[in-house]
Structure 1
Amino acid sequence: DASIMDGKTLNAGAVAGVTNIKNPINLAYEVMENSEHVLLAGKGAEEFATQRGLEIVDPSYFYTENRFKSLQKVKEREREKSGNKTAANYDSFIKDSKFGTVGCAALDKNGNLAAGTSTGGMTNKRWNRIGDSPIIGAGTYANNATCAVSSTGWGEFFIRGVVAYDISALMEYKGLSLQEAAAEVIQKKIPKMGGDGGIIAIDHEGNVAMEFNTAGMYRATMNKKAELQIGIYEK
């Protein structure tokens, strides 16, 4: 699943449930720039990728031993808990599973914002599950008037909370700063619903927010002077 949004035009593109596209974010860009749609899924998205000349790979290309082992561990834990499948136990199970999302939010020299998000989804997801990453307004949002946001976390809650757009809306309608808006959504609204995760974001003035309510979030920023900052656990 992947999505991208242009803050200048509010144009956006997204793909969901693709299995053989080497770089799904490139396909999301093609949907944005070269189709009349916003979101394509499954075989139709893959057919569009072929028409646009994107690189197609066998699904085995995405195999890594580390992620395969993670999947086996999650499946084993699920089998162990199968005799006591309460909603609370399942919630705990999901929260302990890792999410593999990659996101970016950027401000260019002309003052234009953009955001993009790509993910394989939660480990051991079911039934063609689609999370927040390809949903404009939940996993990705960009608007030159406010900010660009990319989300990561428990997608079901980020969809219900329309997290990326909510941060922008708090800035636009309530006059909050990016940091204030991000903290309001990630530290208050999402936990109150029962979800967890985080966002990376940048506003139209170049201020950055990287807010999360989990133990850690892999993240980094670089400014116009090429000064790089990297973080994992500490706030």
Structure 2
Amino acid sequence: MKASLKLLLMKTLSLALLITLSCISAFAQDFSDKITLVIHGGAGTITRANMSPEREKAYREAMNNALEKGYDVLKKGGTSVQAVEAAIHVMEDSPLFNAGKGAVFTNEGKNELDAAIMEGKTLKAGAVAGVTTIKNPISAAIAVMDQSVHVMMAGKGAEQFAKEKGLEIVDPSYFYTEARYKALQRAKEEEKTELDHDAKGEKGGKGEKGGKEEREIKKRPKTGFRSAEDLIFMEGRKFGTVGCVALDKYGNLAAGTSTGGMTNKKYGRIGDAPIIGAGTYANNATCAVSATGHGEYFIRSVVAHDISALMEYKGINLVDAANEVVMNKLVERGGEGGVIAVDRNGNIAMPFNSEGMYRGYIKGDGKREILIYKD
């Protein structure tokens, strides 16, 4: 009798285990057809008139490669964080984007990089700011999230931490690109012209000469650049931050952002990219967001979290929430740029209020689209 009861108990437990495993397996598969990855490569004055066919082809190829790398991770069962890292690595390693290899120069002639990551399941996050020797800052941000008790590390401390964790460290010269260096020199020339204009036109420009100088400066293009290719590299009117948001087969969201900041920036300036809630945010209950634009406005408006908050507290859908923040609130406050976002159902949003934004997405069935211009 005891043997029969023991056998019955074992069968019952086995059945319960099978049912539990089946439920877990079924839940894990619920999001397999919804896996989604979205990327951006910067927003600003990006128009067909400023883009050569060769340059556009190069951008599209780089963005498609980033989509492929991230998508491959998701299709093989990788996590959203792993997919975001893979996609951003592609853009960090390309001189086309203002992140990693293509980072712009500060006023001092340095390349200072920022990055952040956040996962929606646990709300864990990591960021690095003002680093100059870490080849792939997004990986350093992930290391901060996963292997430290902190959220953000900056400067030499962040670099030491990355080195201790075995991340690739490079000489600062690795980040040098001729186009970015020339952009710095021209930005300084433009800055000097504006200062000269202030001195001559406003303080001593009451006479005919001063008035003429003022009129001539107003006639000059605001960019101060000589060619369409130069314009592509101009930060301030083109914000070259890169980012990625993803939904994996487990239903988890993640957002990552990486940037080289703004050309000619001074005094250790940090933008919105590494600031959780401003340029980067993820929450499984709402969405994952990565932003690109004039960082100061995104910080003051807490753009990424604001989109999530509208969804959480007001029940607004992803597209409407993103549009409200980027197309209304941000515009009213004078901020330029855009965001990419995805929710737990695989819905995406890519609003921007500038002339253009490098952006693209790929869905679970392999459908993809890469867009650059407003029209």
**Distance (Å, rounded) in 2 between the aligned partners of 1:103 and 1:65:** 24
Higher share in helix: 2
Q: Normalising by the residue count of structure 2, what TM-score does the alignment of the two structures yield?
A: 0.60
**Larger relative contact order, structure 1 or 2 (CA cutoff 8 Å, min sep 6):** 2
Deviation, structure 1 residue 96: 4.8
Cα displacement (A) at 1:98: 2.6
Residue among 76, 82, 87 paired with 2:189: 76
139-148 or 92-101, which moves further after superposition?
92-101
> Hey, what does 1:48 align to over in structure 2?
161
Deviation digits for residues 64-120 of structure 1, max 9, x if unmatched? 11111222221111111013289xx9xx88985332211000000111000000000
Cα distance change, pair 43–131 in 1 and its aligned pair in 2 (3 A): same
- 2:323 match: 183
1:127: which partner in 2?
Answer: 267
Asked if 1:136 corresponds to 2:276, the answer is yes
Match of 1:158 in 2: 298
Shift of 1:234: 2.5
Residues 1:30 and 2:170 are matched in the alignment:
no
Match of 1:174 in 2: 314
One-letter amino acid of the structure 2 residue matched with residue 217 of structure 1 = M
Runs of 4+ in structure 1 deviating by more than 6 angstroms, as ranges, are: 92-95
Output the CA distance in 1 between the equivalents of 2:235 and 2:165: 38
- Specify the alignment match of 1:220 in structure 2: 360
**1:18 maps onto 2:131 in alignment:** yes
Two-structure CA RMSD over aligned residues (Å): 1.8
Q: Gapped runs of 5+ residues in structure 2? A: 1-113, 203-217, 224-233
- Structure of greater Rg: 2
- Give the aligned length: 231
Contact 2:235 2:263 in 1 (8 A): no
Identify which of 279, 285, 290 aligns with 1:145.
Answer: 285
Partner of 1:201: 341
Partner Cα separation in structure 1 for residue 325 and residue 243 of structure 2: 18
> Are the equivalent residues in 1 in contact too, given 2:125–2:276 (CA < 8 A)?
yes
TM-score (norm 1): 0.94
* Deviates further, 22-31 or 76-85: 76-85
Q: What displacement does 1:54 show?
A: 0.7
Does the alignment pair 1:210 with 2:350?
Answer: yes
Moved more, 72-81 or 4-13: 72-81
Deviations 1:178-212 (A, max 9, x none): 11011100011111111111000001110010010
> In 2, Cα distance between the equivalents of 1:186 and 1:73?
30
Q: How much does 1:11 deviate?
A: 0.1
Correspondence for 2:248 among 100, 105, 108? 108
- The 3-state SS of whatever aligns with 1:50 is helix
Q: Which has the higher strand share?
A: 1
Unpaired runs of at least 5, structure 1: none
Aligned: 1:60 with 2:60:
no
**1:7-40: CA deviation from partner (whole Å, max 9, x where unpaired):** 0000000000000000000000000000000000
* Distance (Å, rounded) in 1 between the aligned partners of 2:149 and 2:235: 37
